């Protein structure tokens, strides 16, 4: 029996949830789950239809992209996951989708403005969109450089990955992360919902105002502040 059985099962369940939530099409999208103790992570194999995917198909790699266990090629986005795990040692899961409204916003190369309290329930800033990388980086180690692109975006916008657990890659699509794979998937669904709401808001009123700071503060802190009171 594989010593990574539980890691593979958690990764598999998260990938299946991504599909069940309608966040991917065909074989697109992937979720990974890290094992910090053993310095490895599990990720979906590349191009395998969700309906035939099995827990044992998950591929185990180290943070330098060496395959530790698995018979199939890992996701084509593996190097991005590895780079984020290596540089952000407090995240436990990463998800990447091609969800429609998230991708549509990424294709505009615009941040998603904070228009409403659903957005403020999860973060206090616009959802960032990283600008497309330069031609030499695209033609180089592309997936690795996508990880650099994400970190550069957060540095340039002075954002914390602990507070903003999602990003859009310009002309590409969304990446999300969290304490585990399930939270990364949750954040992918939240991002897609907020992206759709923001799009519809601008269709109704192209000059819709941003949410005022007092409402942002109230809605975020009642869920995440030291005196939070949402939930049981």
pLDDT of residue 144: 97
Burial of 34 from C-beta contacts in 10 A (0-12 / 13-18 / 19+): buried
Q: Summarize pLDDT for 18-74 with one digit per residue, the tens.
A: 999 999 989 999 999 999 999 999 999 999 999 999 999 999 999 999 999 999 999
Phi, then psi, of 129 in degrees rounded to 5: -120, 120
pLDDT of residue 164: 97
Is residue 111 part of the annotated active site? The answer reads no
Please tell me which residue in 35, 121, 152, 180 is annotated as part of the active site.
Answer: 121
- Given a cut of 90, is residue 224 above it in pLDDT? no
Tell me the two tokens of residue 95.
């998800």
The pLDDT tens digits of the residues spanning 149-198 come to 999 999 999 999 999 999 999 999 999 999 999 999 999 999 999 999 99
Give CA–CA dist 91/71, Å, rounded.
26
pLDDT of residue 56: 96
CATH topology of domain 5-224: L-fuculose-1-phosphate Aldolase (3.40.225)
pLDDT of 230 strictly over 90 = no
- CA distances in angstroms from 226 to 123, 165, 222, listed in the order given: 15, 19, 9
1, pLDDT greater than 70: no
Q: What is the pLDDT of residues 87-126, one digit of tens each?
A: 999 999 999 999 999 999 999 999 999 999 999 999 999 9
Question: Taking Cα atoms as reference points, which of 127, 133, 75, 134 lies closest to residue 104?
Answer: 127
How many residues are recorded in the chain? Answer: 232
- Residues 228 and 232: their CA atoms lie apart, in Å, by 11
Place of tokens 């996701």: 75
Element (H, E) at 182: helix 181-204
Q: What is the DSSP letter of 48?
A: -
What is the arithmetic mean of pLDDT over 126-138?
95
What is 148-174 written as a DSSP string?
Answer: HHHHHHHHHTT--TTT--EEEETTTEE
Q: Is 230 a catalytic residue?
A: yes
């Amino acid at each position: 029996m594989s010593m990574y059985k539980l890691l593979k099962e958690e990764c598999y369940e998260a990938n299946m949830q991504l599909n069940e939530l309608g966040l991917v099409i065909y074989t697109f999208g992937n979720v990974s789950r890290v094992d910090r103790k053993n310095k490895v992570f599990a990720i979906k194999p590349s191009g395998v239809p969700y309906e035939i995917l099995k827990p044992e198909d998950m591929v185990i790699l180290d943070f330098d992209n060496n395959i530790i266990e698995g018979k199939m090629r890992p996701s084509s986005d593996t190097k991005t996951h590895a780079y984020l795990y290596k540089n952000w040692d407090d995240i436990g899961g990463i998800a990447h989708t091609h969800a429609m409204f998230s991708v549509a916003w990424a294709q505009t190369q615009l941040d998603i403005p904070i228009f409403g309290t659903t957005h403020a329930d999860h973060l206090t800033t616009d959802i960032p969109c990283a600008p497309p990388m330069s031609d030499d980086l695209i033609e180089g180690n592309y997936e690795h450089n996508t990880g650099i692109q994400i970190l550069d975006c957060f540095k340039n916008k002075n954002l914390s990955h602990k507070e903003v657990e999602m990003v859009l890659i310009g002309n590409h699509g969304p990446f999300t992360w969290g304490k585990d794979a399930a939270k990364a998937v949750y954040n992918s669904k939240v991002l897609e919902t907020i992206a759709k709401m923001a799009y519809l808001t601008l269709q109704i009123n192209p000059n819709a105002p941003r949410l005022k700071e007092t409402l942002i503060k109230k809605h975020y802190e009642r869920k995440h502040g030291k005196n939070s009171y949402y939930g049981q």
